[in-house]
């Protein structure tokens, strides 16, 4: 394969250069088999508090098994224990780059279908099992066999082979442009000794729901469901413990934003994920706190499930036309966000700025509803306000908007992720609509489009809980991800954005700011644009004494 970017760089060479830039190394010997070198460790000042680092979160993990679920609220709990082959690291400029973790180097074949990884030596899982090529292969194979959401982030893998004790090769069935970036999200490496806990052919899923055996910096100390998870240092962690690091970590479930704010102000918490916009300005005046506000490629949707009236494209278009976007963005988000223009948010490289922003068109909505003539006039919207605190106001705005066109909306707000997701797994039951926050786990539109809209991504495989199926969209997504470079991929994504604007199963309500609150003694926290969908770097977090 000898495809070139718009700058005339070969695809393979571009992948290598990108990886080298991420690792902070020079570009030499590009004509040969080039390996990516690891990032050097940085020293940090001492003076570490011995008390636990406390991170308060609004939503509890569904499972500790990273092969079953990798939503951010689950990965918050998984990431202290588990590690991927590569990871995103903040670049200090508001962006992030890929750096090696359990893989030290990798190379890509000329046809971009074969990836060879050299693995880090002298790494062991917390149960003493060596991390090696056999362990990496077992993880890829188990991820595929479990075949749940995390597996959908990766391309179709033909086979995985071990070349020697510390070299593993992954063969893809077709080129997949963001493969290295996707590995930052899945698979997290689990000790293959966990297979001894298998029960009834469940691939040890039941045991790994509540137990965790990884290579990461911490081990689970205790889990009190509905309250908190606590972690202790892994004394044999491969990076060692020189310099400042937290002794212990506590992830505490605190659903109420007001309580999270109080815990930060009193020093009971160090980091919070649920600070709301109306509190942020007042909290900025507190000299003991730091409030991080950033524009992100995260968008909030109301997803329309493909049954009843929602099967009619005209009715779905009416739902987009009836919603008052400016009431939500201006009145609720206080303009700390923007009205979207489609499924790919501003900030993602494939975003099409030529598309107009959505606006309310009440006359058009009435006309479309009249043409669709739905027999169904009452609908149920399900939200989960602990995850997105502005759901109640969004739901009320939509409820009032729909009432103006003679449609009633019942709002069901759930407090736990298990109940929320469980209600969506079958099309014949559950709500007619649901609130859904979408943010790419890595810098590529494929992560959003495939897992949300592709016909193969329906439960339990992935997150197409609307059960939307469109062969033309499937084709655009598939061709877009296998094209050689961004220039040749962009036309497919432009077409996909236009198709979803006209036919898609969603109201694109707002692109919103991300807010994190932390106390100033918390060190090592660096924001990057995918933090909405990736946990903090717990190893490098510490509380100053």
Q: What is the pLDDT of residues 485-495, one digit of tens each?
A: 999 999 999 99
Residue 89 CB partners (closer than 8 Å, separation 6+): 22, 39, 96, 97, 98, 99, 528, 537
Q: In angstroms, rounded to a whole number, what is the distance separating the alpha carbons of residues 66 and 71?
A: 9
Is residue 12 scored above 90 in pLDDT? no
Burial (CB < 10 A; 0-12, 13-18, 19+), residue 152, is buried
pLDDT classification of 257: cutoffs 50, 70, 90: very high
Angle formed at CA 537 by CA 51 and CA 516, multiple of 5 degrees: 80
More confident residue, 347 or 508: 508
pLDDT at 526: 87
pLDDT at 138: 98
User: What mean pLDDT is predicted for residues 322-349?
Assistant: 96
pLDDT at 246: 96
User: What mean pLDDT is predicted for residues 9-33?
Assistant: 33
**245 near 235, Cβ under 8 Å?**
no
Q: In angstroms, rounded to a whole number, what is the distance separating the alpha carbons of residues 30 and 68?
A: 38
Q: In angstroms, rounded to a whole number, what is the distance separating the alpha carbons of residues 184 and 336?
A: 29
Range of lowest pLDDT (177-186, 319-328, 401-410):
177-186
- CATH code for the domain defined by 295-513: 3.10.105.10
More confident residue, 342 or 442: 342
pLDDT at 6: 33
Please state, rounded to an integer, the average pLDDT across all residues of the chain. Answer: 90
pLDDT classification of 11: cutoffs 50, 70, 90: very low
Is residue 255 scored above 70 in pLDDT? yes
The H-or-E segment that residue 479 falls in is helix 471-482
DSSP summary character for residue 414: -
pLDDT at 4: 34
CATH 3.90.76.10, the chain: domain bounds: 11-214+521-543
Q: What is the pLDDT of residues 196-243, one digit of tens each?
A: 999 999 999 999 999 999 999 999 999 999 999 999 999 999 999 999
User: What mean pLDDT is predicted for residues 45-56?
Assistant: 85
If DSSP codes are grouped into helix, strand and coil, which group holds residue 14?
Answer: helix
Distances (CA, A) of 534 to 13, 20, 55, 417, 459: 28, 22, 14, 17, 22
pLDDT at 191: 98
Q: What is the pLDDT of residues 58-92, one digit of tens each?
A: 999 999 999 999 988 999 999 999 999 999 888 87
CATH 3.10.105.10, the chain: domain bounds: 295-513
User: What mean pLDDT is predicted for residues 454-474?
Assistant: 94
Mutual angle of helices 471-482 and 486-503, in 10-degree steps = 160
pLDDT classification of 425: cutoffs 50, 70, 90: very high
pLDDT classification of 46: cutoffs 50, 70, 90: low
Beta strand 522-523 with 542-543 is antiparallel
Q: What is the DSSP string of 257-277?
A: HHHHHHHHHHTS-SEES---H
pLDDT at 50: 84
Q: Hey, how many other C-beta atoms are within 10 angstroms of the C-beta on 278?
A: 11
Is residue 391 scored above 90 in pLDDT? yes
User: What mean pLDDT is predicted for residues 310-325?
Assistant: 98
Q: In angstroms, rounded to a whole number, what is the distance separating the alpha carbons of residues 15 and 442?
A: 15
Edge-to-edge order in the sheet of strand 114-119: 103-108, 114-119, 167-172, 157-164
Q: What is the pLDDT of residues 134-164, one digit of tens each?
A: 999 999 999 999 999 899 889 999 999 999 9
Does the N-terminal peptide bond of residue 384 adopt cis geometry, omega within 30 degrees of 0?
no
Burial (CB < 10 A; 0-12, 13-18, 19+), residue 345, is buried
pLDDT at 326: 97
The CATH superfamily holding the domain 11-214+521-543 is Dipeptide-binding Protein; Domain 1 (3.90.76.10)
Is residue 405 scored above 80 in pLDDT? yes
**336 near 298, Cβ under 8 Å?**
no
Nearest to 332 by CA among 396, 270, 287, 289: 396
Range of lowest pLDDT (37-41, 159-163, 259-263):
37-41
Q: In angstroms, rounded to a whole number, what is the distance separating the alpha carbons of residues 132 and 122?
A: 9
**466 near 457, Cβ under 8 Å?**
no
Nearest to 342 by CA among 500, 495, 475, 513: 500
Residue 190 CB partners (closer than 8 Å, separation 6+): 65, 66, 67, 82, 125, 139, 142, 208, 213, 214
**58 near 259, Cβ under 8 Å?**
no
Is residue 442 scored above 60 in pLDDT? yes
């Amino acid at each position: 394969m000898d495809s070139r970017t718009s700058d005339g760089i070969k695809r393979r060479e571009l992948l290598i250069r990108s990886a080298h830039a991420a690792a902070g190394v020079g570009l030499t010997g590009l004509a040969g088999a080039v390996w990516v070198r690891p990032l050097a460790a940085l020293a940090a000042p001492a003076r570490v508090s011995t008390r636990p680092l406390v991170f308060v979160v609004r939503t509890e993990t569904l499972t500790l098994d990273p092969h079953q679920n990798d939503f951010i609220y689950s990965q918050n709990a998984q990431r202290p224990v588990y590690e991927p082959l590569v990871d995103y690291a903040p670049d200090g400029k508001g962006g992030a780059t890929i750096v090696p973790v359990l893989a030290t180097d990798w190379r890509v074949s000329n046809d971009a279908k074969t990836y060879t990884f050299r693995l880090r030596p002298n790494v062991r899982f917390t149960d003493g099992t060596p991390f090696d090529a056999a362990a990496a292969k077992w993880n890829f194979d188990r991820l595929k066999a479990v075949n749940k959401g995390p597996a959908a982030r990766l391309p179709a893998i033909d086979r995985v082979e071990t070349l020697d004790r510390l070299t593993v090769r992954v063969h893809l069935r077709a080129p997949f442009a963001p493969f290295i970036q996707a590995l930052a999200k899945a698979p997290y490496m689990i000790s293959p000794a966990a297979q001894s806990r298998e029960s009834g052919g469940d691939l040890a899923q039941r045991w790994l729901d509540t137990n965790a055996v990884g290579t990461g910096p911490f081990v689970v100390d205790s889990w009190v469901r509905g309250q908190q998870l606590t972690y202790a240092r892994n004394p044999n962690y491969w990076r060692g413990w020189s310099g400042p690091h937290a002794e212990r970590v506590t992830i505490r479930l605190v659903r109420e934003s007001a309580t999270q704010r109080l815990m930060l102000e009193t020093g009971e918490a160090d980091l919070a994920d649920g600070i709301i916009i109306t509190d942020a300005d007042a909290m900025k005046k507190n000299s003991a706190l730091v409030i991080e506000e950033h524009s992100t490629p995260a968008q909030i949707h109301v997803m329309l499930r493909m049954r009843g009236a929602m099967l009619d494209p005209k009715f779905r278009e009416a739902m987009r036309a009836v919603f008052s976007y400016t009431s939500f963005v201006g009145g609720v988000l206080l303009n700390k966000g923007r009205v979207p223009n489609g499924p790919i948010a501003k900030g993602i490289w494939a975003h099409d700025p030529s598309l107009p922003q959505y606006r309310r068109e009440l006359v058009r909505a009435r006309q479309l509803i009249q043409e669709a003539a739905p027999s169904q006039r009452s609908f149920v919207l399900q939200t989960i306000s602990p995850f997105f605190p502005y759901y109640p106001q969004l739901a009320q705005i939509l409820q009032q908007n729909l009432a103006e066109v003679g449609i009633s909306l019942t709002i069901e707000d759930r407090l736990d992720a298990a109940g929320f997701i469980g209600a969506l797994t079958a099309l014949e039951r559950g709500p007619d609509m649901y609130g859904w926050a979408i943010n790419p786990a890595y810098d590529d539109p494929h992560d959003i489009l495939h897992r949300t809209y592709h016909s193969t991504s329906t439960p339990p495989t992935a997150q197409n809980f609307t059960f939307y199926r469109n062969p033309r969209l499937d084709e655009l997504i598939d061709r877009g991800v296998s094209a050689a470079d961004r220039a040749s991929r962009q036309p497919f994504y432009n077409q996909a954005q236009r198709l979803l604007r006209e036919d898609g199963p969603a109201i694109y309500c707002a692109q919103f700011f991300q807010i994190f609150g932390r106390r100033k003694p918390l060190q090592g926290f660096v924001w990057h644009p995918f933090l909405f969908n990736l946990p903090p770097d717990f190893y490098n977090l510490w509380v100053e004494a």
